[in-house]
Chains A and B, each alone.
Chain A
C-alpha cells in the first residue's frame, strides 16, 4: 500500500476542513512557540542569576576558621588520659586568621591540573572616617588581574579602572559605600584598621556587584595595600580562592585539598545550594507550563479529528468498501494528526525563536546589573529538540484514538443507515 495515496487522501480530507485544520495547527504552533520562548527566557534569567552569584564565587575557598583548639591540655594529663572529658567555656586560641604556608599552598594549587586558576585574598575589617562618623567596612585585598580573569571583577567596576589598584594606597569602593561617603574618583579617604592604624587611600574606582548589601559594606584594594595597612608580610592571606576546570569536582577536591593543607575548604555547591534549587524550580515551572500548553493543543487536534471522522463516516465507509483495510484508514487519520503536528511544531519552533529574539531586544536596565541592557534569552538547541519531539508526540497521541475509531468504522452500518 503506497504512502503516497494515504497522504493524498489525508491531504484531501484536511483541505475539505481547512479552517479547523488550521486552527488545530495554530494551536500547536502557539504552544510550541510559547514553550520555546518561555524556556529560553527562564533559562536566560537562570544563567544571568547564576552568573551574578556563581561566576563570581570561587569554586573552592580555603581559609582559617577561628575555633577552639581540638587538642586541649587535659588530654596530655596522665591523670585524665583517654577518658571522655567534658570541658566547659572553651575559648578559641589566638591562632592567626591568615593561612599558614600560603605561598606553598598556592604553588601546589597552581601546579594541580584540575585547577584553572588561584587568586589569594586578604580580608580586613576597617573603619572609614567621614567627618566625625566611622563607617564599618570590609576591605578585600586582591590581585586585580587575577580577580578579573577568574571572577569577572572588571565587569562590575562601573567607574575607574582595575589596573589603577596596582598603585599602592588606592581603593575601589563599593557603590553603596561611595554613595554614603559621597566619595568621587580621585578623592582621598581616611581609613582606620581594627588594630588602630590610620592610612589615607585614594579612590580610583567604584564597583557594583548587583548585590546591594555587599556593595554597601565592601571595597577592594590591592593585596600589597592591605598587607601594608595591617603591617603584615607579603605572604599574609586570609583566603585562597580557586577556580576549577570542572565546577562539579568542587566538593570532592575541597575535601581532599582541605585535608592535605590542613585548612578549612568550602566548595561552591555547599555554599550556594539555594541557587541551584531556584534554577531547578524555574525550570520545572517552564516545562510544566509548556507541556500543559501542548496538552491543550493536543486536545484541539483530538477534537478536530473526531469531528472530521464523524463528518466523513460516509467517506470512510466508501474507502473500506472499495478495499481500504482498517490499517489503511488508521494510517490516513494518523497522517492527518502528524501532518498538523509537523506543520504546527516546525512553525512553532520558528515563531518561538522569533519571540526569543523579540524579548532579547526589550530593554531591561537595572542598577543591580550594570552589564545587562536587554532581557536575557537562552537559545539552547536542547529546548528546540524537546519542543519538536514533544509537539510530534502529543499530536501523534491526540490522533491515536480518533484514528483507531476511524479504522473500526463498520461500512455496512453506515451504508445501511442511509
Chain B
C-alpha cells in the first residue's frame, strides 16, 4: 500500500506587506509521511512559525500548494478549513493555550464535541484516557489556571490527540518549559509515534530534542537548507 504523504507543501512562499514587502518564506517544499516524527530547526526569525501556521491551514495568505492527506487544501473556504483542522490536525502552542472558563477535562473534550462523532459520554471517557496518557487524570476537574506550565502543556497535547488526528503540529511546545518538563513532554511525543504511530511535526530550537526525532528539517532565512536524518 503506497499511502499518500500525510502532508505535502509545494513551493510555499510567504510575503509580509508592511511599509515594505518582505519575503519570509521562499519556495519551501516539504513532505511528511505517515508515522514520522519530524522536527523543524532554525534560528529565531527564520520563518518556522510562519511556515507552521500555513501548514496548519490557519494562515491562507501564501503562494504555492498545500496538500493534506492527498487532498489539495489551498484555496478552500474557511468553513471547510475549520472542519479540516478540527478533524485532522492537532495543534500544540508554545504558550499553553487552554480555555480558562472550562475544566481540564472539558478543554480536552471540546474539539471532540465540536466534531460530534461520538456521544458526550464516550467523549468524556476518551478525554479521560488521553489525560491518563499524560498522567493528568487527577487534575481533570481543575481549572487550567490551577495547573503548572508543564501540566498545562500536557493537557494541550491531550487535547490535540482527542480526535485521533492525522497529524499533530507543535510550535516550540517545550520552549517555555524547564528541562525536566521538556524531557517529559518529549518522551510522551516519542511514545505517541512509537506506540500509536502518530505523525508529528514539531518546531524546536532545542538541538537535543531535534536529534532524537526521525528527521530534522533545517531552515535558514525562509528556505529549507538540508534534511538531516538523525537515524
Contact = CB atoms under 8 A, between A and B. Distances in A.
B78 interface: yes
Given A12-B101, A13-B101, A415-B97, A322 B58 contact: no
A315 B99 contact: yes
A320 B99 contact: no
Contact of A323 (B53, B83, B94, B99): B83
B85 A323 contact: yes
A328 interface: yes
Interface string B76-90: 001100111111000
B114 interface: yes
Interface string B45-74: 000010001001011000000000000000
A412 B58 contact: yes
Given A325-B78, A327-B79, A5 B101 contact: no
A415 B93 contact: yes
Contacts of A2: 113, 116
B115 interface: yes
Given A2-B113, A322-B110, A411 B58 contact: yes
B111 A322 contact: yes
Given A315-B101, A321-B58, A418 B113 contact: no
A376 to B, nearest CB: 49
Interface in B87-111: 87, 91, 93-95, 97-102, 110-111
B159 interface: yes
A365 to B, nearest CB: 56
Q: Which of A13, A319, A320, A321 has the most CB of B within 10 A?
A: A321
Interface string B141-183: 0000000000000000001000000000001000000000000
Contacts of A323: 82-87, 111, 114-115
A203 to B, nearest CB: 80
A318 B86 contact: no
B97 A324 contact: no
A321 B113 contact: no
Interface string B111-137: 101111000000000000000000000
A71 B58 CA distance: 95
A1 interface: yes
A322 B84 CA distance: 10
Contacts of A324: 82, 86, 114
Interface string A369-381: 0000000000000
A325 B101 contact: no
A15 B100 CA distance: 11
Nearest to B176: A418
A58 interface: no
Contacts of B85: 321-323
A314 interface: yes
Given A5-B113, A322-B86, A323-B115, A317 B97 contact: yes
A324 B87 CA distance: 11
B60 to A, nearest CB: 9
Contacts of A415: 53, 58, 93, 97, 171
B110 A16 contact: no
A75 B153 CA distance: 112
A19 interface: no
Interface of B: 49, 53, 56, 58-59, 78-79, 82-87, 91, 93-95, 97-102, 110-111, 113-116, 159, 171
28 contacts: A1-B116, A2-B116, A5-B110, A5-B113, A5-B114, A15-B101, A16-B100, A317-B97, A318-B99, A321-B56, A321-B58, A321-B85, A321-B97, A322-B85, A322-B111, A322-B114, A323-B82, A323-B86, A324-B82, A324-B86, A324-B114, A326-B79, A411-B58, A412-B58, A415-B53, A418-B93, A418-B94, A418-B95
